[in-house]
Structure 1
Amino acid sequence: MDKPATDIAHRLASHAEAVCRRYLSQGRREGRYWLVGDARNTPGRSLYVRLAASPDGRGAAGKWTDAATGEHGDLLDIIALSGGHDQLRDALDEARRFLSMPLPEPSADVPRPRLGKVPTGTPEAARRLFAASKPITGTIVEAYLRKRGLADLRGHDMLRFHPHCYYRPSEDDAAGTRAAWPAMIAAVTDGDGTMTGVHRTWLDPATFEKAPIATPRRAMGNLLGHGVRFGVAGEVMAAGEGIETMGSLRSIMPAMPMIAGLSSAHLAGILFPATLRRLYVARDDDPAGNAALGALTGRAMAAGIEVVPLSPLFGDFNEDLQLLGDARLCAAVREQLMSDDGNRYLVPPG
């Protein structure tokens, strides 16, 4: 970044909350962070902006990370991405207007440098990572899922295991954080089954839990409209945010096609199969989950698709599965399904 851009980024950081309220208006403040769906101001909680420097000095004000994609940057990037500015000069001019700074004199003979895109990883790189991974049977991924209550892992071929998946530490990670961990690799596909990306969940081999790192979940590739799919979509389908959430519903409805959008923002933007007539939305019990349900309902109704919300008793359906067990989860979900779908898809625990 050149000196004028660096200076302006520092000025923006000293007004971090005001910048977020202006350019990330769909988000909200929680403690020392501003939470929103993504850098383009989508509702949700995947992206977090640090509003003040961390007490230990590791994290600077104005720095942000999108936990769903691994994107990161500063507030000048936010202004560029939320405003659709692909030229650095345009983003700088907008930042100067926000800061009430004078605009520079125009110069016709100086070309405008383009802003570099924030790296997210290409679909090709995602496919290579998935190909380098192996089935989950007998691995830490299987142990992690079983610890989350997912006992029947048949039909989970979209999930694989990588023993040493690279992790790029962020400013929120402790000094000396390992750069590689075992990971669950989930294939993100479009409606035709073409892989467009992957989702990585780094795991701790000592505990069979998520790894003790700042962002143990990140995606790469092209996620918008796509997701991690369970089964082939037909007239009825269920959609939700997390892999574990949808795996929990899959444990009691193994024949119902499902998709995990991987974040509230991406759930709201999933593409509908041409055959879809009824969509069950497994919402997370939080404001981002409510926002995703509202956005998805509006899009589906406009497409002539019936939407039926599925609400967990606790935070999400994986939490329900772990706290209630299969039988009580099955009973709670049955009450929310259309009667024909309950008879067709629900398989009560034996």
Structure 2
Amino acid sequence: MARRDASDLAHCLARQAEAVCRHYLSNGHRQGNYWQVGDARNSKGRSMFVRLKDSPKGPAGKWTDAATGEHGDLLDVIRETLGLIDFADVAEEARDFLSLPRPEPEPAPSRRNLPPAPSGSAEAARRLFAMSQPIIGTLVETYLRNRGITLLHGTGSLRFHPRCYYVPDEYSPTETWPAMIAAVTDLDGRITGAHRTWLATDGSDKAPIDTQRKAMGDLLGHAVRFGVPGEVMAAGEGIETMLSLRQILPDMAMAPALSAAHLAAILFPPMLRRLYIVRDNDPAGDGARDSLIARANADGIEAIVLSPALGDFNEDLRTLGIDALRAGVRVQLAPEDVARFMALAA
């Protein structure tokens, strides 16, 4: 999508800044010439200010989060509140809100004429993710809720594919199963790979197949990402493990690296000052922990290990319950991060 299109849409949204805020930042309220809310993901609070009218301090529609230093425009608000990744999806939502007509599509080569992407390549991963759909209302949402994961804000890196290819072995025919598709990205947000979790046809569990998960593309150093990392983030292995931790730390950036080996090699965002290493209770998790602590300390980053009571944090959530999970994690956090990130018990 052209940069001019983004600028035009942001300008149109800014002319209706208060209406945009009331719709997408409904947990906030007007305070003078500003809309005040917790953050760009519509959390309750007062640290983010959206300018509602042009002023000498700046144009309408611009916002700043005083707690994190994040800033942006109303297109960023739409992206964050809905968990979108591709600008085309953000632009479509903005046009729907503004009741604008769709632009004429630019001529594009037929998919049939595209050269085939090498199997398992980063390009194949990008195409798979592009062919998938947002997870809300799909079997992915059903699957995650069955695992106790109900907070799904900011999960634009996850998508649903209703008929994802699965090859059991070289001698068996190709099958298709529903799948959760996770985008693996580098520190600049570029998709370098994808991770597939094949699901049962009713979303109740993983598919009844031998290999239920498989990654493709360039994974080393990269991760699936939830939230925007600042000075604090958490990194671990599994998607469900990290989403379980997000149930009690909803505003902390999380990065599932998908395996112990890839966790040990994850790259650090430039602003990072404290890293929570989310380990699984197994020998591979211990090795990843030790390697990551050494790398973080060498870069001047404080490393704190978060350990589950059982095998992993999803098992803790499902077996012990969210209150026990919250209590177990609370005592492992830096005190300032308890106040900043931990969701209060209902």
Alpha-carbon contact 1:327-1:348 (below 8 Å) kept: no
Q: For the residues of structure 1 that align with 2:218 and 2:174, how far apart are their CA atoms?
A: 27
Structure 1: which 4+ aligned runs deviate by more than 6 Å? none
How far residue 349 of structure 1 moved from its aligned partner, in angstroms, is: 3.0
Matches of 1:176 and 1:161, distance apart in 2: 25
Read off the aligned partner of 2:221 and give its amino acid letter.
Answer: G
Question: Does structure 1 conserve the Cα–Cα contact (< 8 Å) formed by 2:193 and 2:219?
Answer: yes
On the 8 A contact 2:251/2:341 being kept in 1, the answer is yes
The alignment covers a number of residue pairs equal to 229
Which structure's relative contact order is higher, taking Cα pairs within 8 Å and 6+ residues apart?
Answer: 1
- Match of 1:209, SS state, is coil
Q: Does residue 135 in structure 1 map to residue 100 in structure 2? A: no
Q: How does 1:169-248 map to 2 (within 5 A)?
A: 169-170=168-169, 179-206=175-202, 208-248=204-244
* Identity, % of aligned positions: 61
Contact 1:264 1:292 in 2 (8 A): yes
- The question of whether the paired residues in 2 share the 8 Å contact of 1:177 and 1:213 is answered with no
Equivalent residue of 2:181, what SS? strand
Query: Given the alignment, which residue of 240, 244, 250 partners 2:246?
Result: 250
| 2:285 corresponding residue in structure 1 | 289
* C-alpha deviation, 1:170, in angstroms: 2.5
Match of 1:345 in 2: 341
| 2:147 corresponds to | 148
- The verdict on how the C-alpha distance between 1:141 and 1:241 changes in structure 2, with shifts beyond 3 A counting, is same
Residue of structure 1 in register with 2:99 after alignment: none
* Partner of residue 310, structure 1: 306
Structure 1 Cα separation of the partners of residues 129 and 228 of structure 2: 20
Structure 1 residues 177 and 152: CA distance shift in structure 2, 3 A: farther
**Alignment partners' CA distance in 2, 1:178 and 1:206:** 20
Distance 1:262 1:224 in 2: 10
2:322 aligned partner? 326
CA distance in 1: counterparts of 2:212 and 2:344, whole angstroms: 33
State the TM-score, normalizing by the size of structure 1.
0.63
Shift of 1:207: 5.8
How far 1:176 sits from its partner (Å)?
A: 5.8
Q: Counterpart of 1:300 in 2: which secondary structure?
A: helix
Note closer, same or farther for the CA distance 1:120–1:316 as it changes in structure 2 (3 Å cut): farther
Tell me, yes or no, if the aligned pair for 1:253 and 1:347 is still in contact at 8 Å.
yes
Contact persistence 2:139–2:202 (CA under 8 A)? no
Alignment root-mean-square deviation, CA: 1.5
In structure 2, what is the equivalent of residue 264 of structure 1? 260
Deviations for 1:170-207, whole angstroms, at most 9, x for unmatched residues? 27xxx867611100000101111111111000011146
Runs (5+) with no aligned partner, structure 1: 1-118
